[in-house]
Amino acid sequence: MNTDLLIKNAQIVSEDGIVEGSLAVTGETIAAVLRKDDNVNAKKVIDAGGMLILPGAIDTHPHFFEPGPTYREDFLHGTRAAASGGFTTILDMPNTAPPVRDEETFGIKYKAASENSLIDFALWGSAMPTNISKINRLHELGCIAFKAFTLDAGPDFDFSGDFAQIEAMRAVKEFNGIYGAHAENGDIVKNSTALYRDKPWNLDTHEKARPYYAELSAINSLLLYAKITGCRLHICHMSIPEGAELIKIARENGVDVTVETCPHYLLLNKESAGKAGTFAMINPPLRSKERMEKMWDYVKDGTIDYIGTDHAPYTVPDKLPEDGDLWKANAGAPSIDIAVPALFEEAVINRKMPLNKFSALISTNAAKRFGLYPKKGRIAPGVDADFMILDADDPWVYTRAESFSKTKVTRFAYEGRRVACKVRATYLRGQAVFTDGKIMQEPGYGRFLRSEKLKNGL
């Protein structure tokens, strides 16, 4: 066998199980997963020294703020950071400025991402009450799924009341697409926030202002509307174990729903991240340690399908408003470069999650749901050679100062966190995009992805 690249002496987390051996890559695709490589003639050989090879991670939920406030993050920096953290595909969120709401705004986003993204990218479209008639066109253009907010999302994005949620689901159902939502009940959040607004802001009062039942109520309604409309539903960034219980019941009742959680709901909680103050202000909020621990049960039993980082870096003025009113701070935090290794440590090393389940959590499940499978999301002959080499025993200390991300602010909750394992290299379509601390490809190496399933009209 002649091949371009042979990575020897690796533990390969392939779709058929863990293989101790070699990965052969020809051009952009995986040529073979081999236990023995005696007959392979490779142009380049790398010894992985027993390290792991996992499928390239897929982030279902980053915010790169482009077009818009790119001083916080953009495709160039955001996807470099993503590659350094083992991601090979991102599904960029549509609530930019302007949001991806029609053909013109899709074009702006598409151009920015095509010119700058280092890794493969898909684009979410918006599902706002003001653009329901444009959803079908956005689908034709290739939007991978459609995002709504069930509560006030600021001036650039129109939130959806219950009726608009149903109407938009009907529009998405027309082509059997996916409707995703930020799930928090706006009425509960507004009124509960009013009760705490005069108290000092901290992670506890923030969480009480946006209590778990605000999220649970919105998830409950969305599941009901998905049942009524038959639309495929994606619950974004779920932070509460109670939501997982509801989703289990809904699945038994025939609702086609998947759910993402974020690294911060598994790695941080309102007690542990208190020192970071508004730099750990995220919505839905960080919950209690007890809820965080329970979230792991649903990750391990597979109720939670995948990980979206909700990566959203902010600057110091964004987080510390000039007038000192912390309730006005922007919610969101960066995590795209620490998510995979930190989750690997917690899931695989500390909680004994099997490697194939971890691989499904960070890659395969999202690829399947969003129609990127079988080319993405797995290690098998004939598929895109998207993978990471991960050293399970290479401790390091995270600092934003060394991140490829645009905002280098070092006050976020992960700052100084010791992580037991490290992403040593990330390969996308057969080429290294990141190796040993360096970015290896030019901006624009990433390609636009659309759902294979929907493309074929299935």
Contact set with Zn ion (CB under 5 A): 310
Minimum Å distance from CB 185 to Zn ion?
17
Q: What is the dihedral of CA 396, 400, 402, 406, to 10 degrees?
A: 150
Among 107, 158, 108, which Cα is nearest to 137's?
107
Nearer to Zn ion, 153 or 367 (CB): 153
Nearer to Zn ion, 238 or 390 (CB): 238
Minimum Å distance from CB 123 to Zn ion?
14
Nearer to Zn ion, 120 or 260 (CB): 260
State how far the alpha carbon of 416 is from the alpha carbons of 129, 194, 413, in Å: 42, 35, 8
Minimum Å distance from CB 307 to Zn ion?
13
Nearer to Zn ion, 305 or 391 (CB): 305
Task: For residue 136, give both structure tokens.
Answer: 């079908």
Minimum Å distance from CB 274 to Zn ion?
22
Under 8 Å between Cβ of 77 and 405: yes
Instruction: Give, as one character, the DSSP assignment of residue 304.
Output: S
Nearer to Zn ion, 167 or 310 (CB): 310
Minimum Å distance from CB 162 to Zn ion?
21
Matching residue, tokens 């010791």: 418
Phi then psi dihedrals of residue 233, to 5 deg: -120, 140
Minimum Å distance from CB 254 to Zn ion?
28
Q: What is the dihedral of CA 421, 31, 356, 60, to 10 degrees?
A: 80
Nearer to Zn ion, 152 or 436 (CB): 152
- CA dist., res. 105 & res. 445, Å (int): 22
Nearer to Zn ion, 215 or 310 (CB): 310
Minimum Å distance from CB 92 to Zn ion?
11
- Cβ-based neighbour number of residue 284 at 10 Å: 26
Minimum Å distance from CB 392 to Zn ion?
30
**Amino acid making up residue 1:** M
- CA dist., res. 319 & res. 409, Å (int): 10
Helix (H), strand (E) at residue 4: strand 2-14
- CA dist., res. 348 & res. 75, Å (int): 30
Residue nearest to Zn ion (CB): 310
**Rounded to an integer, what is the distance from CA 400 to the centroid of its chain?**
19
Phi then psi dihedrals of residue 206, to 5 deg: -60, -45
Minimum Å distance from CB 308 to Zn ion?
8
Nearer to Zn ion, 62 or 277 (CB): 62
Nearer to Zn ion, 120 or 310 (CB): 310
Residue 243, SS3? Answer: helix
Among 227, 187, 178, which Cα is nearest to 368's?
178
- CA dist., res. 194 & res. 315, Å (int): 26
Minimum Å distance from CB 441 to Zn ion?
27
Nearer to Zn ion, 168 or 331 (CB): 331
**Burial call 261-275: b when 16+ CB within 10 Å, e when fewer:** bbbbbbbbbbeebee
